[in-house]
Amino acid sequence: MWMPQQIPALASKLQALGFTGDAGAFADLTGYPMGAIVSLGGCSASFVSADGLIVTNHHCVQSSLQYNSTTARNLMEQGFLAKTRADELWNGPGSRVFVTISVRDVTADIMGKLDPELSDRARFDAVEKRVKDLTAACEKGSLRCTISSFFEGKKWFEISQLEIQDVRLVYAPAAGIGNFGGEVDNWQWPRHTGDFSFYRAYVSPAGKAVVYSKENVPYKPKHWLRVSPKGTNPGDLVFVAGYPGRTARLSNYAEVKQTVEWSLPRIVKRNTDQIALLEKLAKEDQETAIRIATRLRGLHNSLTKTKGVIEGMNKGGLLAVREAHEKSLLAWIDADPKRKADYGDVLPALNALVADRARTRERDALLTEVCSGSGSVMGSAQTIYRFSCERAKNDMDRDPEFQERNWSRIREAQDRLQRSLDVTADRVLMRYSLAAVAKLPASQRIDVLDHEIGLAAGMSEADAGKAIDAYLGKLLAGTQLYQKDIRLACLDKSTAELLAANDTVIKLTAVLYPLTEAIRAKAKERSGTTYRLGPRYAEALLAQSGGAVSPDANGTLRVAYGQFMGVPARDGLLYLPQTEKTSDARPFNTPQAVLAAIKALRAGKMTPYLDPKLNDVPVNFLSTVDTTGGNSGSATLNCKGELVGLLFDGTYDTVASDYRFDPLRTRSIHVDTRYMLWTMAEVDGATNLLNEIIGLHRPADTP
């Protein structure tokens, strides 16, 4: 997952794979094709028309489908198609499109001339202030700026993005297409999922990025991708451009070992339990099912991937490979007196940091879980209370999350929360978390919760359960935060005014606040330690490797390249790069319109989207490109810069590449543009969109 500016240096490798284009084009973020690649703030996407039409994955638009769904009109199941611009649905508050327009090296501004005698906390504060200052100077007009670190803090870059705030849902196929195979096929190959959907970006009539308004008009991007009706074929070179989230390939072995042996198994256990609790609720009430749908899907997705990572790191031997690599690094350092002087103290100090965090890891994780549950009333209260405390400070002294540049986002999140907040779900998940709190050993007790609920070390599970049930009954009955207007009004209140309202959830948040602040303070001190050690650790890794190295993914724009390729035969299995499958049993419930279109195709109906070698319309294909979470919706490009697919998943047996890249076995899964276009034409009748994306392209957009 290379930074775009690294691609020109890889020109010879690309040429060996058959690339005849200009590798330098990838470094030009305002040109074609990179100027068409955008972020949705969690997923990737790209412009595909002159009128701001955006293509991404179906699973990336679930929150928009949920926001606009009711029990009578469940868009998450039925799908949606706007036949006209007027029919396009606002995604709701908080939806964004980010167009990267510049990347600038600011390493000297962030890390230069830092006093080496600074304490780790003082170092963190100094870096944070420099980041705030640069961010404030960068953000002009509609720009959103981020200062991101690369190579463990060795390099820092300022990323400037146009922030488009009015985003609307245009088209999403039915779940039987967009989520075909459901959790059974998730992270699996063979795969047959039409994981594609469309948004449109809107701006003011003057071309300014503004909040939603009926008077807004489609955004006019400088560049948009040509969508290829011919797709790509086995052996072809392909590129993926998008915004991968996080990898940990440069992390030290102790960090990865703790993740594999503690963090990931914990995720498996807790996600499994929470899925069971939420699925039971979903079966009991349709409205609750809609409210918790995206949370459930996220838990399932994380669970399956985490299991794959554990298997790959342990059974696949990648953890042992990581250990061997670090031992070779230590030997390389020890073999030279200068290297030992420069780097000899780094790994022991990093290992000590991991050990320090492990001492209270379960206690801290549970406290964070109770206070900040995603989509919960406690999470809302945490935001509201912290906001009141931070707002009393000068803006440059506030936590970055609560600076004035984020106030509109905070308000939008509390507004949007109304479509997913559910008191029944909160009750069962809080009970689950508090039951784990009750089991903490005496040395790790959360005294405030013990006092509030009536818990004690060694209490029987039955007695703890009774105390928790009684407490939750009073806690949830005494809050008004399930009402949107109340939550939004709370954002305008001081800390004293919030406490005076006597809301039970706010009061609990307040008494837990000193503990959560202590955890955040300790995290800042540890970050200051990594600012001191990380750059030297990365420097040693880079010096030892002696070649081009891509930095860990960190949510910034990246380019990966590879070949359209299956997996060689092993253990009696051969993964072909293209497959097909239909059924009428959930989760393989193919819509009747698809079956009818397939029948017509089999009967000889002509289509321009046929693969001549397969004599069929391909659905998905495999490639060797390097991707991870956040890459969902990324444009898959051929050597001409044409869109031939959308990246949407990895394979279960290679997801451990997040921690140790396997260049031989790693595969990523893409939806083929031919299936996307065929579905639009023959299944859903999206002729208005077909005309828009396959129609006229400006000559200037020629790659």
Active site residues: 59, 195, 632
CA-based nearest residue to 98, from 201, 4, 207, 218: 201
- Residue 623: count other Cβ atoms within 10 Å of its Cβ: 29
Separation of alpha carbons 450 and 454, rounded Å: 5
**Tokens, residue 250:** 């440069």
Whole-number Å distance between alpha carbons of 13 and 579: 29
Cβ proximity of 590 and 194 under 8 Å = no
- Residue 82 neighbours by CB under 8 Å, 6+ apart: 88, 89, 168, 169, 170, 171
With beta carbons less than 8 A apart as the criterion, state whether 512 and 521 touch. no
Give the C-alpha separation, 110 to 156, whole Å: 7
Place of tokens 């029948």: 599
Task: Please report how many Cα atoms fall inside a 13 Å half-sphere around the Cα of residue 199, on the Cβ side.
Answer: 34
For the record, the structure tokens of 554 come out as 């960190």
> Residue 658 and residue 651: Cα distance in Å, rounded?
12
How far is the CA of 309 from the CAs of 368, 424, 647, in angstroms? 24, 32, 19
Q: How far apart are CA 498 and CA 502, in angstroms?
A: 7
How does DSSP assign 489-525, residue by residue? HHTTS-HHHHHHTT-HHHHHHHHHHHHHHHHHHHHHH
Residue 187 near residue 155 (C-beta atoms within 8 A): no
Q: What is the DSSP letter of 340?
A: H
What are the distances in angstroms from CA 181 to CA 271, 282, 621?
20, 19, 16
Both tokens of 535, joined, read 């750059």
Structural tokens at position 236 = 């072809």
**141/99 Cα distance (integer angstroms):** 14
Of 420, 410, 486, 408, nearest to 212 by C-alpha is: 408
Question: What's the CA gap between 225 and 241, in Å, rounded?
Answer: 12
Structure tokens at 629: 């979470």
Q: Which of left, alpha, beta for 667 (phi over 0: left; psi -120 to 50: alpha)?
A: beta
